[in-house]
Amino acid sequence: MAAALEEARIAGAAGEIPVGAIVLGPDGEVLARGRNARAHGVDPTAHAEVIAIREAATQLGDRFLDGCTLVVTLEPCTMCAGVILAARVPRVVFGAWDEKAGAVGSVYDLLRDGRLPHPVPEVVSGVMAAECAAVLTEFFAERR
């Protein structure tokens, strides 16, 4: 989570909403990194998770991230949950809950929705939650 937090801080310093993500390969090493880049990339899909998953798929040469772990500072939204399922990420670890748009347990729980035809990933929530939430809180406090 510390590596994902570093990505979040870099995003925040660039004026992006400070969310960071990493993908750990099957060996536990950092395979890919991502941070929000929606504003500067003029891309509504440039969420940290999507960027990290795209990079990991490129590194592996496979659209499925078998054996990998996605670590992200904020609970994924519905779009990101869909990408996680499409990439068959078997494990998701996140920090802060997103009570407005979270799709992994707070508002929705898409990853564990048994109606979907995807393998259900393991979800670990609340890892370094206070630190992850603080980065977001500080970012928005500076803009108000």
Q: Which residues are catalytic?
A: 49
132 known member of a binding site: no
**Residues 87, 50: contact at Cβ < 8 Å?**
no
Beta carbons within 10 angstroms of residue 79's beta carbon? 16
Residues contacting residue 39 through CB under 8 Å, at least 6 positions apart: 15, 16
* Closest C-alpha among 84, 136, 129, 75 to residue 102: 75
118 known member of a binding site: no
Q: Which segments are annotated as binding site for Zn(2+)?
A: 47, 77, 80
Q: Which segments are annotated as binding site?
A: 47, 77, 80
